[in-house]
Every structure is written in structure tokens, then in C-alpha cells.
Amino acid sequence: MAVALRPGYGAYAASKAAVEAMVKILAKELKGTRITANCVAPGPIATEMFFEGKSEEMVNRIVEENPLGRLGVPEDVAPLVGFLVSDAGEWVNGQIVRVNGGYI
């Protein structure tokens, strides 16, 4: 939502944008520690929290808006998180990684 900026999500989008800004600053503040700071920003993921308060029509509209034609699942996000916390992700720092199937 920090990118989509959809009506009705003002407070939610603002909180996500704040996290994204803090991650970029934290990455600089951690200079010299070999600790990286990144943000994983998943799109619509089929979890209890996602479905809460949404009608079937609303969910179907979100699925239709996604270029991959489906909701994400936690298994779509987990490999990226695993990469970032591994030695292989050492050179990724201060990044916002959107895992959303192209949904904006």
C-alpha cells in the first residue's frame, strides 16, 4: 500500500512508508557492523489477516488486478526472506523488496 496509495488506506500506507524510510536509514546507521537492514513488502497474501473484513467480491477484484491472476501464499515470500538472512544476501542492504506478483 505504500506504493498503491489506494483510497481508504491512508493510515495503513503511511505506516508502511514509515517502515520503508526507517529501513533505509537503519542500513546507513549500521555501517561497519556487517549487519544489513532490508524490508520485505509482500502484496496480497492469502492469510487470515488478508481475508478479514473482505467480501468475496473484494478478494476476486484483487485477484483480477494481479498480473499473475492469484493471491500470493506465504511460500512465495519465505524463500526471499531465507535468501536475505543467508550469507548469499550479504550484499543486499537498505532495500525494499516487493514480493507481490506485480500487484500495485
| Residues labelled catalytic | 12
Which cell numbers in the block locate residue 5?
496509495
